[in-house]
Amino acid sequence: MGRGRLRIYLGAAPGVGKTVAMLDEAHRRLERGTDVVVGLVETHGRPHTAQLLDGLEVLPRRVVTHRGATVDEMDLDAVLTRRPAVALVDELAHTNAPGSRHEKRWQDIDELLDAGIDVISTVNIQHLESLNDAVESITGIVQRETVPDEVVRRAEQIELVDMSPEALRRRMAHGNVYRPEKVDAALANYFRVGNLSALRELALLWLADRVDEGMGRYRADHGIQSTWPTRERVVVALSGGAEGETLLRRGARIASRGAGGELLAVHVSRADGLAGPDLPRLAQQRRLTDELGGSFHTVSGDDLPDAVLDFARGVNASQVVIGSTRRARWSTLLSPSTTEEVIARSGDIDVHVVTHSFAAGRGWRVPAPGLPGRRVRLGYAAALIGPVLLTALLTLLPTDPGLPLTVPLYLLLAVLVALLGGIGPALVGAVSSSVLLNWFFTSPVGNLTIAEPVNAVALVVFVAVAAVVAFVVHRSARRAEAAIDAQQESAALAELTHTLLGSTGQLSLLLDRAVDMFGAEEAVVVRRASAEHAEEVVARSGEVGAGGALPASGDVARAEADDAHDLVLVGVRLPADRRRLLAAFATHAGAILQRQALQRSVGEATALARDSTARTALLSAVSHDLRTPLAGIKAAIGSLRSTEVIFSAEDEAELEAAIEESADRLDVLIGNLLDMSRLQAGALVASPRPVDLGEIVPAAVAGVGEPERVTWSLDPSARLVLADPGLLDRVIGNIVENAVRHQPRPGTVRVATSGLGDRVQVRVVDTGPGVPEDGRDRIFLPFQRYGDAPAGDGVGLGLAVARGLAEAMGGEVSAEQTPGGGLTMVVDLPSAAAVHDEGGS
């Protein structure tokens, strides 16, 4: 038994007729003899929809009670037991009531499909997960119920139930969608014409993409390589040159002429990695592609025309935009240009050739870098001297070597000259060698006249072979130079990246490496001048700070780091072949600047959020905790001043005690608030000195609300600590007060001291509810009530203040579990006895 098939009716909005279409399909299948049951269909009180249920088997629903309300859900087990051929399950994105087997209805449907049952369902476009944020921006309403796109994509059939916005609004006005009392509000809000038009477009485009995916699978399965122009896709071929922006804008205009047009930019990088584009320019073209609504792609290949056309056929593109060649016209006579090759191989793809200011004959084209000048000069010298020396050597031989030996020797000399100086010296050497061959070794000797035609052909072939070999050798030498440069650049960038990853001062390290790499006097990052400010140095090599200005004169090399900054090398004249490496360094610098800006933003946002949370918690706590004792004081004083009631002496004493207790609570609260504010501001100054715990602990215990519930004992060897007496009293008092609040009656809280090396620990032990291990750090956060005070009592500062005050004295406060249950607070302080012993010794 195979998996069942899923069919989905997709709509742009409620009321377009999805459920009606589903029920019509059920009746058609039932008439053909198919076993169809209704697992769950929502009629929403619409009479026409309810009528379509007549004649269909409807399974009873499962009733779920949640928070006092009853909810009807599909009885999944009943459908599985009934096992029909087709089950109707409405509202694919629905969230099931708590306690159901699955959280979502689409998961119920998935189980039905696994059981071999075909399912027909419905869903609106706003419930698709990928479009949730888009729908919210259009309608202003957050859709709580969503379904993963992949669930809908797996459907065997997706049928769009479409309706124009005007028709849907008329249907609503007639009361066919919502009850009359809801119609006006719906038409004025969610069901506005603009909203419905946008949702309809989303539904059409989403379904069009799914159809396009299906067509792509079909073409791949059937090996179809030709283009099917179902949608106007325009591929713009980018070389990384300056003409790229012109090509992108022209491609965008072509794509916009057809409905659903799509712009795709493709850059072909060489597979050998020896040649590369201008990286900042290519990044700028990538940004422009995004702004034009297109997508940017990079493919690898040595054959540029084939790579571009393979990509175009792979995306089923109908048109390719390419720039006119930048090669000189004479060079195209020797080999066709990339543009000509794309046209020749395009087949059924239209090719648009766009002219630009950098095309051949329309601007100065910088020649490709050749070999170093010193090698070229040596090559010319060898081309002039080498043939003369070889001729002298051959003429001194006792016998005539003959052309079969002489010609290969001169050819070998041309190859050696090509290796040394490139194609120019090689051609000079070949011509001079041919003249010497003709004069000294071709009959008649001593004359440039050639008697035998075969010798003339041999000399022409010699020059041609020498030229071809020289060209190949020259090209190989240039490729070798490029390979060495690329290897050096890659090694430098790899080392730089590896070094930066483990460094804290990344920008200064990068600038120092730039100085070493390029031999500059200084490397700086500058903020470009604008209308608001002049050019400003933000970072310098070899310095932590910044500031200052660039030298007014001298050699500088500059590359763009980001939209606002440049990387500048001072005191160096950079050759063209090193500009690409400088651009890579600048890109690294831009990334570091962006990361630093993000880190500052995160830090500022975190601080603002922390301050906001603290203020909110403080206001919430103060609004209750300060008002409660104030209200108690006011009520007691009001009672004492009242002339309507005569209180006995005992009642007056009780009211006075209440006033005193409330005032004490206010004093503690205000003291903690002030201490916390000083701690957070860093304004608290502790003055540690030797203190006897025998004086601090009894006083701190006596200050709690119920001192009779606290017992204490001090280890004679662990009495002297190094602390601030006033702060230590607050620390122990806050911790003991917290423990008393959580200690079940009639139990008591125990305070004990013990020595541990050069430290003294004060332990406050209770047997209350305790705190889980993962929550013990949170109880020390400001304004936390968990583990600090019962709900509604105290601003949650007791333990936070205790830890802060202890740390200000060089101590620590931590929490441990009490054996048998409860919480033990440990105050760890330096031992004054140990300090005294060290000083005495």
Answer whether 67's CB lies under 8 Å from 59's CB.
no
Give the three-state DSSP class for 556. Answer: strand
Report residue 560 as tokens: 């763009």
Closest CA to 117 of 91, 82, 152: 82
User: What is each CA distance from 45 to 13, 182, 503, 590, in whole angstroms?
Assistant: 17, 13, 67, 61
Residue tagged 């056309």 (tokens)? 309
- Looking at this protein, which amino acid is placed at residue 333? L
Q: Which of 94, 624, 742, 836 is catalytic?
A: 624
Walk across the sheet containing 522-527 and list its strands: 536-540, 522-527, 565-570, 556-560
**Measured between alpha carbons, how far is 794 from 734 in angstroms, rounded to an integer?**
11
**Measured between alpha carbons, how far is 667 from 633 in angstroms, rounded to an integer?**
13
Answer whether 164's CB lies under 8 Å from 20's CB.
no
- Looking at this protein, which amino acid is placed at residue 172? M
Residue tagged 């060495």 (tokens)? 484
Distance spanning both ends of the chain, measured CA to CA: 90
Answer whether 753's CB lies under 8 Å from 718's CB.
yes
Please, which residues bridge with residue 284 across strands? Answer: none
**Measured between alpha carbons, how far is 415 from 409 in angstroms, rounded to an integer?**
10
Answer whether 90's CB lies under 8 Å from 19's CB.
yes
**Measured between alpha carbons, how far is 596 from 590 in angstroms, rounded to an integer?**
10
**Measured between alpha carbons, how far is 716 from 206 in angstroms, rounded to an integer?**
80
Answer whether 213's CB lies under 8 Å from 155's CB.
no
Please, which residues bridge with residue 268 across strands? Answer: 299
User: What is each CA distance from 278 to 240, 284, 285, 368, 560, in whole angstroms?
Assistant: 6, 10, 11, 14, 11
Structural Rg of the chain based on CA atoms? 43
Neighbours of 297 (CB within 10 A): 16
Give the three-state DSSP class for 16. Answer: coil
Please work out, in degrees rounded to the nearest 5, the angle formed at the alpha carbon of residue 657 by the alpha carbons of 652 and 658. Answer: 100
Report residue 288 as tokens: 């422009």
- Looking at this protein, which amino acid is placed at residue 416? L
Answer whether 390's CB lies under 8 Å from 409's CB.
yes
Give the three-state DSSP class for 142. Answer: coil
| Helix runs in 442-578, H state only | 453-501, 506-518
What is the rounded (10 degree) CA torsion for 196, 202, 205, 209? -150
**Measured between alpha carbons, how far is 7 from 175 in angstroms, rounded to an integer?**
29
Beta strands at 522-527 and 565-570: parallel, antiparallel or unpaired = antiparallel
**Measured between alpha carbons, how far is 561 from 538 in angstroms, rounded to an integer?**
12
Neighbours of 507 (CB within 10 A): 21
Answer whether 354's CB lies under 8 Å from 247's CB.
yes
DSSP state, 270? P
Neighbours of 338 (CB within 10 A): 19
Told to judge if 624 belongs to the known catalytic residues of this protein, a careful annotator would answer yes
Answer whether 570's CB lies under 8 Å from 556's CB.
yes
Give the three-state DSSP class for 712. Answer: strand
**Measured between alpha carbons, how far is 450 from 237 in angstroms, rounded to an integer?**
53
**Measured between alpha carbons, how far is 29 from 320 in angstroms, rounded to an integer?**
48
Active-site residue numbers? 624
